[in-house]
């Protein structure tokens, strides 16, 4: 599933942790790795120094960038094929253009703090990349403690849609590679159907939603049976992102795999911007998978 993986770094501890997770994927899938950093020469030169950046200064930036990359490359397994490159430009645009040009199967990004995808590398790079990239994105959020990559328990929220199915396929593939257990979760979001009825939702409506949920998670279970992947299924009720985050925390989930819709990426998943909110607060890495544009 993953033959070529793109790792990005800005030298921060957050990006190093993300790279470690990406390297774990590379080893499990026997994938080649490309490690890049993006130098924003204009920003480095300052707003009032247009045209004043010397060749020596640019060279020093490139040297610093290469050093950051080499530190990541040193963490790779001896059997992993690694290539590196220092790019110049606006980080978000450069990463997107590079990922599209080189046809990577996975892009790995670090995200900073509670605002999650709002800060990485320089500015809102991760947010921009996730919204527009055509490839799956693995985001690893900054944490107070260092956490070594581990993928024993993988959470796959599903709503039974074709968008969620994309994530299911990736989740099962990752689980098979790491001999992990998949947790298939369906959240009955009755508030979307009848937000003003609160707990007074007709039983016929509730039963229909629960039946839909059982069908969705049984489909994941059935798909998993065709592989060696062990599955755990759960159906709950509430606000999707809250239930997903609570489940991830309660069950010590190591990876959350979610689908997203269309060019707006994070703007649509399940019901509303669930993926965006999960990405910002998830206690574990998140693999977001968007349905390919060519199929839409």
Distance CA 37, CA 39 (A): 7
Same domain, 202 and 91: no
Instruction: State the pLDDT confidence band at 144, using cuts at 50, 70 and 90.
Output: low
Q: How many domains is the chain built from? A: 2
Structure tokens of 90?
Answer: 């606006």
CB 220 within 8 A of CB 231: yes
pLDDT, mean of residues 14-29: 95
Cα dihedral sign, 9-13-17-18: negative
pLDDT of residue 255: 97
Provide the percentage of residues in the chain whose pLDDT is more than 70: 79
Distance CA 75, CA 142 (A): 19
Question: Of the candidates 78, 107, 141, which is a domain's last residue?
Answer: 141
Instruction: State the pLDDT confidence band at 131, using cuts at 50, 70 and 90.
Output: confident
**Maximum distance among all alpha carbons in the chain?**
72
Question: Of 32, 134, 122, 135, nearest to 84 (Cα)?
Answer: 32
Mean pLDDT of the chain: 83
pLDDT, mean of residues 282-291: 86
- Asked if residue 181 belongs to a domain, the reply is yes
Structure tokens of 225?
Answer: 């049976």
Tell me the C-alpha to C-alpha distance, in Å, between residue 289 and each of 45, 50, 138, 192, 266.
Answer: 36, 39, 9, 23, 10
Question: Of the candidates 121, 141, 161, which is a domain's last residue?
Answer: 141
Same domain, 129 and 84: yes
Same domain, 220 and 126: no
pLDDT, mean of residues 160-178: 91
Comparing 138 with 264, the larger pLDDT belongs to: 138
Comparing 160 with 85, the larger pLDDT belongs to: 85
Checking if the pLDDT of 145 tops 70, the result is no
pLDDT of residue 274: 79
| Residues spanned by the domain of 65 | 4-141
Checking if the pLDDT of 278 tops 90, the result is no
Question: Of the candidates 141, 165, 189, which is a domain's last residue?
Answer: 141
pLDDT of residue 14: 86
pLDDT, mean of residues 83-111: 92
- Asked if residue 229 belongs to a domain, the reply is yes
- Asked if residue 146 belongs to a domain, the reply is no
Same domain, 164 and 223: yes
- Asked if residue 198 belongs to a domain, the reply is yes
Distance CA 168, CA 157 (A): 8
Same domain, 168 and 279: yes
pLDDT of residue 113: 46
pLDDT, mean of residues 58-87: 94
CB 17 within 8 A of CB 72: no
- Asked if residue 292 belongs to a domain, the reply is no
- Asked if residue 295 belongs to a domain, the reply is no
Question: Of 12, 38, 9, nearest to 113 (Cα)?
Answer: 12
Instruction: Give the range among 175-189, 190-204, 232-246 with minimum mean pLDDT.
Output: 190-204
Instruction: State the pLDDT confidence band at 266, using cuts at 50, 70 and 90.
Output: very low
Checking if the pLDDT of 20 tops 60, the result is yes
Degrees to nearest 5, angle at CA 152 with 149 and 158:
110
Give alpha helix (H) positions in 160-251.
162-178, 190-193, 203-225, 240-250
Distance CA 292, CA 180 (A): 26
Checking if the pLDDT of 50 tops 80, the result is no
DSSP 23: H
Q: What is the pLDDT of residues 190-212, one digit of tens each?
A: 666 655 555 566 778 778 888 98
pLDDT, mean of residues 6-32: 94
- Asked if residue 16 belongs to a domain, the reply is yes
pLDDT of residue 198: 54
Same domain, 184 and 129: no
**Residue 216, burial from CB neighbour count under 10 angstroms (0-12, 13-18, 19+):** buried
Question: What CATH number does residue 99 fall under?
Answer: 3.40.50.620
């Amino acid at each position: 599933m993953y033959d070529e993986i793109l790792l990005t770094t800005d030298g921060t501890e957050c990006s190093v942790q993300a790279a470690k997770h990406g390297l774990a994927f590379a080893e499990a899938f026997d994938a080649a790795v490309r490690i890049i950093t993006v130098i924003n020469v204009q920003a480095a030169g300052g707003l009032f120094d247009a045209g004043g950046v010397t060749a020596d200064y640019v060279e020093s930036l490139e040297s610093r960038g290469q050093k950051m990359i080499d530190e990541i490359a040193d963490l790779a397994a001896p059997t992993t094929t690694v290539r590196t490159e220092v790019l110049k430009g606006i980080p978000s645009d450069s990463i997107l253009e590079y990922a599209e040009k080189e046809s990577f199967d996975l892009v790995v990004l670090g995200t900073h703090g509670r605002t999650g995808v709002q800060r990485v590398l320089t500015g809102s790079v991760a947010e921009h990349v996730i919204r527009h990239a055509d490839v799956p994105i693995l985001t690893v959020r900054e944490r107070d403690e260092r956490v070594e990559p581990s993928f024993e328990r993988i959470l796959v929220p599903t709503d039974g849609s074709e968008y969620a199915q994309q994530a299911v396929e990736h989740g099962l593939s990752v689980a098979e590679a790491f001999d992990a257990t998949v947790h298939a979760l369906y959240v009955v979001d009755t508030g979307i159907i009848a937000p003003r009825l609160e707990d007074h939702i007709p039983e016929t409506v509730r039963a229909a939603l629960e039946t839909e949920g059982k069908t969705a998670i049984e489909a994941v279970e059935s798909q998993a049976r065709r592989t060696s992947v062990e599955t755990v299924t759960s159906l709950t009720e509430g606000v999707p992102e809250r239930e997903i985050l609570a489940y991830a925390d309660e069950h010590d989930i190591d990876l959350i795999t979610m689908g997203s819709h269309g060019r707006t990426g994070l703007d649509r998943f399940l019901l509303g911007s669930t993926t965006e909110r999960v990405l910002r607060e998830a206690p574990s890495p998140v693999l977001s998978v968007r349905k390919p544009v060519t199929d839409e």
